[in-house]
Structure 1
């Protein structure tokens, strides 16, 4: 199945709402190793706006954002360069499904990206192996795939009119685990602190068909990519989806209410050497 083509400007239309969970995630991260200049990796950095927020939190940090979308990396390049605190931002092409840290990191963080990566929890051991003692792995993923915005999309893709072209597209990119599953996965990997929680952000969106505009930046991308060579089909599908969303999320006098659940995790690697289950002690 073809990888989605991303539109950085569409994604950034709701950047304030999209970055709020990341800010809450960062608030749970305690001091990092690195003597004021921690080494940080941002996995699935997108257009770089979140990577820039990391530099605001740790001004002396050396931060690399990784993404597999050329479109997103071109947008992120605007943020590259030295930071006001003596640190630096740079961006590189990498796929989170196969990325292995090439050097130790004091923080590996991912914001709303791992849901696109099948088996991403299987990458945690390799990532934590390269987190410095006392460092942190932190991420947040959407947890709203049973919400009308996503359930209706999946049902429409599987409808007789669209099944032959889009069957499975509405569910194909859903790869999250439950909060308790993340807790179990991280608790056995040499972490002295594992903090996993869920939050539902009850967002008030503005504008015409704002939930549709939101999904055009994320969940709808695989469908738009699959139909890209057929503009009439794009208009027809989006029109049907828009009508379903209008009923599910009616506009009110102050905007459109759009609840959005997130799953967040912060795992700090123990400052002391910890042997993994089944791992032989070193001499």
Structure 2
């Protein structure tokens, strides 16, 4: 099973604008919520910057962001408190795999988190049961595990001299289901589901920007596994950096970085 990473909020937020866009696109497809004021759970809230978007969309909402990373929660708590529209934002520690709703929710949302959880679709029934009638489960997650950024990382981790330390550390291309599979599972649970995929082409700036991007996300388990072996870690990063430079050459205005994501919005029957 992949290692749960240690997060660096500052590194993660270096590409905050690009990372927030899919969440904005996800929320645009969520219909009106059934209760006023609505209760919203943000599973895997990270540093909290996109959790604030929920309060912007539903100003009176009582929003709670849940995460199992102390580093992320420490960063998120700066957004906690009353909101201008009369609602509130709070944050609490929780493991998404074992999170138990404390009552009905109008919206359960998750942004780029479920790919870290093997078998995450098995949790949908539990969450949908916790929705108020007419409530919504909405999530987006990266579907780019076959992209060069991931294939090159896995290839280096599987090299003979690294297998002992890195075996089983990284996620594979089955970490995320096909959109059709999410549609089938959500409709089988009695929801009206809207499922789609989008490939963003982010234009990244700076030196080795793809390495900088993955250093905040997908590379974290490798960095953790090699933390006690700095020479091996630096050698891995050097080889990976060179491979990324070849796979993602810069253009005249920056480095294009295609990134596929999968989205789902499932509405429970009223």
- TM norm structure 2: 0.97
Map Cα deviations across residues 194-246 of structure 1 (whole Å, 9 max, x no partner).
10000000110000000000000100000001111122222111111000000
How do 1:1-283 residues align onto structure 2 when only pairs under 5 Å count? Answer: 2-35=3-36, 37-171=37-171, 175-191=175-191, 193-271=192-270
Task: Write the deviation string for residues 231-277 of structure 1: whole angstroms up to 9, x where unpaired.
Answer: 22221111110000000001111100000000000000011xxxxxx
1:14-57 CA deviation, whole Å, 9 max, x = no partner?
0111011110100001100122x110000000000111111111
Report the CA distance shift for 1:85/1:132 in structure 2 as closer, same or farther (over 3 A).
same
CA RMSD of aligned residues (A): 1.2
SS at the partner of 1:170? coil
Asked if the contact 1:158–1:168 (Cα under 8 Å) also holds between the matched residues in 2, the reply is: no
Paired residues in the alignment total: 269
Given that residues 154 and 169 in structure 1 are in contact (C-alpha distance below 8 angstroms), is that contact kept between their aligned partners in structure 2?
Answer: no
Q: What runs of 5+ residues in structure 2 fail to find an aligned partner?
A: none
Deviation by residue 1:161-198 (Cα, 9 ceiling, x = unmatched) = 2111112323369621110000000001121x210000
So what's the TM-score if we normalise by structure 1? 0.93
CA distance in 1, matches of 2:213, 2:100: 31
Paired with 2:230 and 2:87, the residues of 1 have a C-alpha distance of 45
